[in-house]
Structure 1
Amino acid sequence: MKLTGLSVSMQGEAILQDVAFHLHCGEIVALIGPNGAGKSTLFRSILGQLPYKGTITFSPAGGPAIRLSDGSATGGKRPLVGYVPQAPSFDRGDPVSVLDFFVAATAKWPVWLPIPRKYREQAAASLARVHGEELLDRPMGGLSGGQLQRVLLALALEPVPHILILDEPLSGVDIEGEHQLLEMLDELRTQYDLSIFLSTHDFATLDQYADKVILLDRKVLKMGSPDEVLSSPEFYQTFHLRMGKGGEHQ
């Protein structure tokens, strides 16, 4: 996927300005930036939910496809894009199970009726991709942050997309769950040759999994390896933190 000159304005205010970068197959790219930097707007533009200026060019098998600002694609086959939103909250007393949630999202079957075996098997197979088969009959309200992310990730992988976008997947996840989720993403990108694009505020783990980091604040301020971005003056000026291995900045 290639973005060129992507700009988004809402009610006369520039939200994104001239954003440009490549996302290659099998690559994990982390998007960082302060609140209000336009990260969610960028995701929604890629998903075709917002009008924009510029171009988003996909290069799947069969030739490139260009997504137009109205959300349509031309010049080739548009690839599948999977999306994991920020984790919703569920009441701990909510009786909805993972199976109910999965079937409601993937099948035209009334969840108040007994769920046929084929839907149960499909949901179990999808959860198996994220090593979450044991969650099938658990109530959604009883899941930990990491377990909920597994369920949402399994949904995004049904069917397996070419590009996987995750909005703050590490938010609300404990250290153990975070480690498991990052290992899973690495496994998925290797197994399916996925392009993975995720936003995060957890800078300390970037060098463990990200091939590239994009620092965004309405426009791309810095792009490169985790160390290049975390050690940059642009990162310090944005977050007033000194990180990375490239030395401190005055």
Structure 2
Amino acid sequence: MRKIISPCGFHCIKVNHLGVWFSEQEILKDVNLHMHCGSLNAIIGKNGAGKSTLIRAMLGDIPHTGDIEFRDTKDGRMQNLKIGYVPQSINIEKNTPVSVYDLLASYESRYPVFLPKNRKLYEKIKAHLRIFEAEELIDKQVCNLSGGQLQRVLLALAVMDEPNLLLLDEPVSGIDQNGMELFFKTMDYLKKHYDLAIILISHDLDYVARYADHVVLLDKTVLRQGTVKEVYESSEFERIFSAGKEETWIKEDETND
């Protein structure tokens, strides 16, 4: 069992003046974010707001202006930023002969996966999967996993290298309520046991209200960011969602009151 750590509070990740253009169309404009380790940062907004584009820009998959900075604020040193990523979906051909063990072992070790299993590595991977309640999946073919099972395996893969930043692009789309509860329980575990910041794109405003530490309302630029209460009670939120249900989404953040 991994020991509980207190996020150091010294590491911060800044997105400075990030912008993205496709052809002559401006997709993102002057996006500025500031995140600390040990926090769950939810990005919300309507379809077409640029949420997934922001994730792709942070991963370096598409050209962008501005920069992303990882700083150790204890001594001011710049460090290389390690990013873990769970995509919205992944296409795996049916009958692909790759097990969960094969997938994680190929990332963890140079030991050829087609050779007999390395018992020490097998037990290490199984213990890592246990964190995500997925140890029973270790010998299953990845192509046969359900949506919730695959999500847990991809989360396990994403944090194997202990990243400073974990990017999650709507990883719970299509997952049932039990799967959602397990997902956010896992997010809480990661916040307590790993020294990382989490960015989650989500359309589920109720779950964001219950679990997020920091919320960013995006519509091609940052319209509002802050606590759930600050964002959900804002005029920008009301204008974007026209929900009229703000009270059911407000989470009193006792630590910040």
Under a length normalisation based on structure 2, what TM-score does the superposition of the two structures give? 0.82
Distance, in Å, in 2 between the alignment partners of 1:62 and 1:115 is 43
Tell me by how many angstroms 1:14 deviates: 0.9
User: 1:190 maps to what in 2?
Assistant: 192
Matched, 1:205 2:221: no
Closer/same/farther in 2, CA of residues 242 and 90 from structure 1, 3 Å limit:
farther
Matched, 1:51 2:63: yes
Letter of the structure 2 residue corresponding to residue 98 of structure 1:
V
User: 2:38 maps to what in 1?
Assistant: 26
Distance, in Å, in 1 between the alignment partners of 2:161 and 2:66 is 29
The one-character-per-residue Cα deviations of 1:186-205 (angstroms, maximum 9, x if unpaired) are 11111123211110111111
Tell me by how many angstroms 1:162 deviates: 1.4
Tell me by how many angstroms 1:94 deviates: 4.7
* Paired-residue identity, %: 43
User: 2:255 maps to what in 1?
Assistant: none
Letter of the structure 1 residue corresponding to residue 59 of structure 2:
L
Distance, in Å, in 2 between the alignment partners of 1:246 and 1:231 is 11
Tell me by how many angstroms 1:91 deviates: 5.7
Alignment of 1:57-76 (within 5 A): 57-60=69-72, 63-64=75-76, 76=78
User: 2:24 maps to what in 1?
Assistant: 12
Contact 1:227 1:245 (C-alpha < 8 Å) held by counterparts? no
User: 2:81 maps to what in 1?
Assistant: 79
Structure ranking higher on relative contact order (CA contacts 8 Å, 6+ apart): 2
User: 1:177 maps to what in 2?
Assistant: 179
User: 1:70 maps to what in 2?
Assistant: none
Distance, in Å, in 2 between the alignment partners of 1:174 and 1:22 is 31
Alignment of 1:1-250 (within 5 A): 1-60=13-72, 63-64=75-76, 76-90=78-92, 93-245=95-247
User: 1:71 maps to what in 2?
Assistant: none
Distance, in Å, in 2 between the alignment partners of 1:231 and 1:212 is 14
Under a length normalisation based on structure 1, what TM-score does the superposition of the two structures give? 0.84
Distance, in Å, in 1 between the alignment partners of 2:74 and 2:123 is 32
Tell me by how many angstroms 1:20 deviates: 0.9
Tell me by how many angstroms 1:147 deviates: 1.7
- In structure 2, stretches of 5+ residues that fail to align are 1-12, 250-257
Letter of the structure 2 residue corresponding to residue 215 of structure 1:
L
Contact 1:2 1:21 (C-alpha < 8 Å) held by counterparts? yes
Contact 1:83 1:166 (C-alpha < 8 Å) held by counterparts? yes
**Greater Cα shift, 46-55 or 158-167:** 46-55
Letter of the structure 2 residue corresponding to residue 85 of structure 1:
P
